[in-house]
Structure 1
């Protein structure tokens, strides 16, 4: 399966060692990599090759300035072809001018709400269609009034809870202020507290203390601290035998 990494901090922090360990997992996730970081503006880098085969990723990590917010993704293709347009993160701007960025590990089985985006998406993944649907939901609210921070959280929380049934939604979303984190499959996301922030990852990235992220609950962070927490919903993803068989076949 794909793997996710997210970081939020009060102060600029060097997380290059975590990135190196994270991207070393690409041998099991060889179909692409991507990263979002900030250097005056938001920068998105991605390639449809294994991170270990990238001609420039290692140099980027070596020269990366300390960060306050960062997302990274390594892809194992389950839906969509192997090309750069299908690599995460996905990023876009809502009608208020706010930029949103998403990384996702999972599959949208119950996706009738977003099939209409197939004609306009740049790639052909369910994750991108989900992201476009999220932007449209935000724009529906913006058409009435630009939501404040708390209202943005409530919109995202509701959207994820509505789409969780029958779908695997391990994801992180960054809106320039808040980092939203959610998982609904057991043993697939954890976090580690640092001096000034928090790093989230699909798997522990060192021998320190990594805590399982709560199940089926959207939590938003700002400057390395939790600021909003949604109610737990009941829609955990339980893999069927068909799902497990299909995933096993992909790794053979």
Structure 2
């Protein structure tokens, strides 16, 4: 599937070393890379549909200090969608109140019909981009009914309900940022870890250094971070994802088709 990474802190920090360790995993995740940072309250996003280790653009970025309070990264192993730039994470979209939302996803949506309606709206053809459209529609519906922008707690509660529904029968390791909150969710064992320190929060698919304090992200809960601290934590849902032979076969068949397309090109 993919690997995901985020850094959340109360003050800007340089995190080149962490990013270099993360992108070193790209040999097993060769179908694209992405990087998102917040600068002056705007997202700066770079991404390419090539292996991170082969990207001169990424090397150029990492040759300079990468500094931020909120930084997100992704390396892709395609399970849904072609190997093209619009399918690389992070995805970004605005709601009706001009709030920008960013999403990166590690997993596959095997069964959630409401996402199908977004196939005609998305820029690429991934289930991950559809998740973001779905979230924004639910936020818009709430704010239209309220007649005012949502609070951070209201947005957290909305996403808690969305995540619980989406996670049933699907692998849903997510990192989402709405300009205020960083949301973290995992529903598969040993697939997302965090390290809390004085520097802030690091979260990654696998530990990216030898620190012994990495811990598994608690399953089946949505967490919200601000300034390196958890400020909201949901109740635990029951939708743990366990990879079955049927899931593995579906993923293998798709990856075979990807390899055929690459070889034919």
TM-score of the superposed pair, with normalisation by structure 1: 0.96
The answer to whether 1:185 aligns with 2:191 is no
Distance 2:63 2:196 in 1: 23
Deviations 1:23-56 (A, max 9, x none): 0100100000001102222111110000011111
The correspondence of residues 233-252 of structure 1 with structure 2, limited to 5 A, is: 233-247=237-251, 250=255
Question: Which residue does 2:137 correspond to in 1?
Answer: 136
Secondary structure of 2:98's aligned partner: coil
Describe the superposition over 1:102-138 as per-residue Cα deviations: whole angstroms up to 9, x where unpaired. 0000111112001011111100011111111111011
Distance in 2 (alpha carbons) for counterparts of 1:19 and 1:202: 13
SS in 2 for 1:235: coil
| Alpha-carbon distance, 1:225 to partner | 0.2
Equivalent position SS for 2:63: helix
Q: Distance in 2 between matches of 1:195 and 1:106?
A: 30
User: What is residue 205 of structure 1 aligned with on the other side?
Assistant: 208
* Displacement of 1:248: 5.9
Aligned to 2:11: 11
Where in structure 2 are there 5+ consecutive unaligned residues?
260-265
- Check if 1:219 corresponds to 2:223: yes
Question: Which has a greater percent of helix?
Answer: 2
Deviation at 1:64, TM superposition (A): 3.2
Question: What is the count of residue pairs matched by the alignment?
Answer: 252
Could you tell me whether the CA contact under 8 Å between 2:12 and 2:69 is conserved in 1?
yes
Taking the aligned partners of 2:141 and 2:36, their CA distance within structure 1 comes to: 26
Match of 2:178 in 1: 175
- Runs of 4+ in structure 1 off by over 6 angstroms are none
User: How do 1:111-130 residues align onto structure 2 when only pairs under 5 Å count?
Assistant: 111-130=112-131
Cα distance, 1:246 vs structure 2:
4.7
Question: CA offset at residue 62 of structure 1?
Answer: 2.5
Task: Give deviations 1:46-78, integer Å, cap 9, x for gaps.
Answer: 100000111111221221342100110000011
Three-state SS of the structure 2 residue aligned to 1:17 is helix
Contact 2:177 2:183 in 1 (8 A): yes
The Cα of 1:173 is off from its aligned counterpart by 0.2
User: Once the 2 structures are TM-superposed, how far is the Cα of residue 175 of structure 1 from its aligned partner?
Assistant: 0.5
When normalised by structure 2's length, the TM-score is 0.92
Rounded to whole Å, the distance in 2 between the matches of 1:245 and 1:119 is: 27
CA deviation after TM superposition for structure 1 residue 194, in Å: 2.4
**Partner secondary structure for residue 96 of structure 1:** coil
Provide the rounded CA distance (Å) in 2 between the counterparts of 1:110 and 1:69. Answer: 31
Which residue does 1:2 correspond to in 2? 2
Alignment match, 1:36: 36
Query: Aligned in 2, Cα 1:136/1:200: closer, same or farther, shift over 3 Å?
Result: same
Q: Which residue of 2 aligns with 1:103?
A: 104
Within a 5 Å distance, the mapping from 1:40-59 to structure 2 comes to: 40=40, 41-59=42-60
RMSD: 1.4
